[in-house]
Amino acid sequence: MSIPEEKIYPRTGDSQTIYLNAAITNPNIKIGDYTMYNDFVNDPIDFEKNNVLYHYPINHDKLIIGKFCSIACGAKFIFTSANHTLKSLSTYPFPLFWEEYKLAQKDVTQAWDNKGDIIIGNDVWIGYEAVIMSGIHIGNGAIVGTRAVVTKDVEPYTIVGGVPAKPIKKRFNDKTIEKLQSICWWNWDKEKVCEKINDIMGGNIDKL
């Protein structure tokens, strides 16, 4: 399917930054409106191939990312099929080589432990070369630091960093976070976002 160029590249003269949902073809990847991806190493159009890893159709797991997210160059989403099973006496993925070992092809998913979908909220910033592991849920407004490896869920409006990623601090106080979660400005139509853009950027939550 041919995607109109202006819907892929939102910035004039910038071929490294795309609106990600315009480049997605995999039905098991759902990306919200205005979520952007920047890649200065590879073609950002190849996000599915270069950034969503071990995402085999046989497992039916999903990558779901909300609206207005910012995804930096090299961020990776590692899916269930990368997780060799710990239930076996061996970590070797014998079921992948079902022909070699005379196993049933239908049992190939026994080669890994199923961790589930990766679900990213709205207005989430994922830093340079961060890694999000399978089964992880990241709340609205969270920030994942550069090269962090996220192995546990991240609460809304929480900054995490490190290997493995740990909470550093909340972006706002609990009252402000609760209000932002209630307002859900990312679900407004574009006209209302434009109307309130200066208050959003200026941190004027009382005017939203």
Cα-to-chain-centroid distance, residue 152: 14
CA-CA-CA-CA dihedral for 203, 156, 132, 15, to nearest 10: -30
CB 78 within 8 A of CB 133: yes
Choose the catalytic residue: 55, 60, 84, 137: 84
Question: Is 55 one of the catalytic residues?
Answer: no
- Give the active site residues: 84
